[in-house]
Structure 1
Amino acid sequence: MTTYEEQIQEELSRWKRKMLKRPSMTGRYAKKVQGKLNELVPNKVHEVVSTSVRNMVQATIIGSDFTAKYRPVLEGSLEERETRIDEVIAKYKKTAAAEGAGTGAGGILLGLADFPLLLGIKMNLLFEVASNYGFDVRDYRERLFLLHVFQLAFSKDEKRRLVFERVEVWEETLDQFPNRKEYLKEVDWKTFQLEYRDYIDLPKMLQLIPGFGAIVGATANYRFLDLLGETAKQCYRMRLLHEHSLQKQ
C-alpha cells in the first residue's frame, strides 16, 4: 500500500516538472500581448497595485500585523495537518470569491479597492498554512519564505524558474540574504509588483466592468487563492521531505 509520504512525493514530483517547464510559444506570445495590455491599463491601476504590493511586503517583513495572530501548530501527522490546511485553503477561497464578487459589481472604484483587500486575504492564507505546517512565522526568515512562495505563485516563465530554484534549496538561499533592514532597502519593488500585476492584469481589467465584473471578480479571486494554496502546500512539502531525508542520513 502506498504511504501518504509516497503519495505526496509523487504529487510533488509532478509539480516540480511543471515549475521547471520551459516557456511555450503560446506563453511567449502571451507575454507580448500582456505588454500591449499594460499600455492600456490606466496609471491609477498601476499606482494602486504598486503601492499595495509594497505595503504588503513591508507588513510581511515587519510582521506585526500577522505574527500576533499565528503560532506554530505542532500536533498531528503530516496527513492530519494537510487535512486542516485543505480546510483553511477552502475557507480563504470562499472569502476571496465573495470579496471579488462584491467589489467587481461596483465597477472601477470598488474594483481598485479589490487589490489591497485581495493581497491581505492571500497573505493571511500563507501565514495560516505556514503555522499549520508547524513553522514559526515570528521568525523573520519564515516570512521571507512566504514572500518567495507568493512570488512563485504569481510569476511567469523564466522568473518562476528562478524563484523555484531559490525555494528548492531554501537553507542555502537564506545564507545569501542580508539582515531585515537591509533587505527592505534592496527589494526590487518594481520587478516584484510588475510580475504580480502582469499575472493578474487581464482578469482584473475585466473585473472593472460593472455587472460583468462581479462574475469575473469571484471566479478570478477563487482561482488565485486556489493557485496560491497549492503552491504553498508544495513548497512546504518540499521543505519537510528534504528535512526528513536529512534526518534519515
Structure 2
Amino acid sequence: METKQQLLEALSEVNKWEMEQEDLWFFEKWGKIPFTVLDKLTPAFVHNKINLVIEELISYIHTGSKYLINTDATIRKFGNVMTLVDIQHLPLREMDGIATNIMKNRKNIATAQGATTGLGGIFTLAIDIPALLSMSLNVLQEVAICYGYNPEDEQERLFIVKCLQFASSDIVGKQTILNELQNFASRADTQDSVSQIASWREVITVYRDNYGWKKLFQIVPIAGMLFGAYLNRKTIEDISEAGHMLYKKRRILERLQEIEHVSEK
C-alpha cells in the first residue's frame, strides 16, 4: 500500500489534471451553436435519437437498464483477485495499469465503430448515437470496478453519469461538478441525488447540444468515416480519462482518510 506522501503526490497529479480541464478543444470553442440552429440542420429522426439520451441516462441511474456490464468479467482482468473488496486493497499502480489497458481497448473499439457508422452518413448515424452512449457508460463502469467501486449500486451509477457530464460540460459545468463530487461520499439519500439529476435537464442539454453538433460532421457519407472515427475516439478518450481521474481521486482520498484515522488512534 502507498505511503501518505505517495498518495499526496498522486493526488497532486489529479489536481493538476483538473486545472487543465479549463482548456476546451476546438469543437467546444468553435461550436457553441444555438440548439435552434442545430435543430434545423439535423434531421428529425436523428434529433429524436439525441433527445432520447436524456431519458436513457435517467433510466440508467434508476435501474442500470440494458447498460449494466458484467462486473465479474472486469474483475477477472486482475488475475487472482476475486472480489471488489480485494481490488480496493490493491496498489494504485495496479489499478491504473488495468484501467489504462481497458481505456486503450475501448478507444480502439470506438474508432472502428465511428468509422463503420460514418461510412453510411446520415443513414447509419442513428445507429451510432445509442452505440456511443453504450460504449461511454461501459468504459466508465469498467473504470469504476478498477478502483473497487460497484456500478451495480445506484449511487455509483449517479457518479458515473456525473463523470459523463463532466467530460461534455463547459468550464463552468466542470467546476460545478467537481465541487459536487467533493462531498459525494457523504450523500445520505440516494433518491435525492437521483431527483437532482432528473431535474438537471437544462444541464444535460449541454451534453445533447455538443453531441449533436459534433455528429453533424458525420452526416456526409464516406467523409463521415473520418469524422466518425475521430469523434468517437475523442469522445471515449475524454470520458474514460474523466472517469479514470475522478475515480482515482476518490480512492486516494479514501486511503488518506484511512491513514488519518489510524494515526488518531
TM-score tier after normalising by the smaller chain length = 0.7 to 0.9
Residue 198 of structure 1 aligns with an amino acid whose one-letter code is D
| Residue aligning to 1:52 | 53
1:128-161: CA deviation from partner (whole Å, max 9, x where unpaired): 1111111122221111111111111111122222
| Residue aligning to 1:206 | 217
| Residue aligning to 2:233 | 222
| Residue aligning to 1:40 | 40
Residue 149 of structure 1 pairs with residue 163 of structure 2: yes
1:144 match: secondary structure: helix
Flag the 1:175–1:206 CA change in 2: closer, same or farther, 3 A.
Answer: same
Q: TM-score, normalization: structure 1? A: 0.84
Contact 1:156 / 1:199 at 8 angstroms: preserved in 2?
no
Matches of 2:36 and 2:125 in 1, distance apart? 21
Of the candidates 94, 104, 119, which is equivalent to residue 80 of structure 1? Answer: 94
Contact 1:153 / 1:227 at 8 angstroms: preserved in 2?
yes
Residue 15 of structure 2 aligns with an amino acid whose one-letter code is S
Flag the 1:126–1:34 CA change in 2: closer, same or farther, 3 A.
Answer: same
Flag the 1:35–1:59 CA change in 2: closer, same or farther, 3 A.
Answer: closer
Of the candidates 240, 244, 252, which is equivalent to residue 241 of structure 1? Answer: 252
2:71 match: secondary structure: coil
Percent identical pairs in the alignment equals 22
Counterpart mapping for 1:1-249 below 5 A: 5-19=7-21, 21=22, 31=32, 33-35=33-35, 37-42=37-42, 43-67=44-68, 69-71=70-72, 73=84, 74-75=86-87, 76-172=90-186, 174-175=187-188, 177-178=190-191, 183=194, 187-188=198-199, 190-249=201-260
Contact 2:143 / 2:247 at 8 angstroms: preserved in 1?
no
Cα deviation for residue 91 of structure 1 reads: 0.9
Flag the 1:224–1:27 CA change in 2: closer, same or farther, 3 A.
Answer: closer
Flag the 1:46–1:193 CA change in 2: closer, same or farther, 3 A.
Answer: farther
Moved more, 213-222 or 47-56: 47-56
Matches of 2:55 and 2:131 in 1, distance apart? 14
1:65 match: secondary structure: helix
Residue 152 of structure 1 aligns with an amino acid whose one-letter code is F
Residue 41 of structure 2 aligns with an amino acid whose one-letter code is V
Residue 216 of structure 1 aligns with an amino acid whose one-letter code is F
Residue 13 of structure 2 aligns with an amino acid whose one-letter code is E
Residue 40 of structure 2 aligns with an amino acid whose one-letter code is L
Q: TM-score, normalization: structure 2? A: 0.80
Flag the 1:131–1:116 CA change in 2: closer, same or farther, 3 A.
Answer: same
* Structure 2 gap segments, 5+ residues each: 73-82, 261-265
| Residue aligning to 2:79 | none
Contact 1:152 / 1:163 at 8 angstroms: preserved in 2?
yes
Cα deviation for residue 190 of structure 1 reads: 3.4
Question: What RMSD in Å do the two structures reach over aligned CA positions?
Answer: 2.9
Contact 1:96 / 1:222 at 8 angstroms: preserved in 2?
yes
1:178 match: secondary structure: helix
Moved more, 89-98 or 195-204: 195-204
Flag the 1:58–1:27 CA change in 2: closer, same or farther, 3 A.
Answer: closer
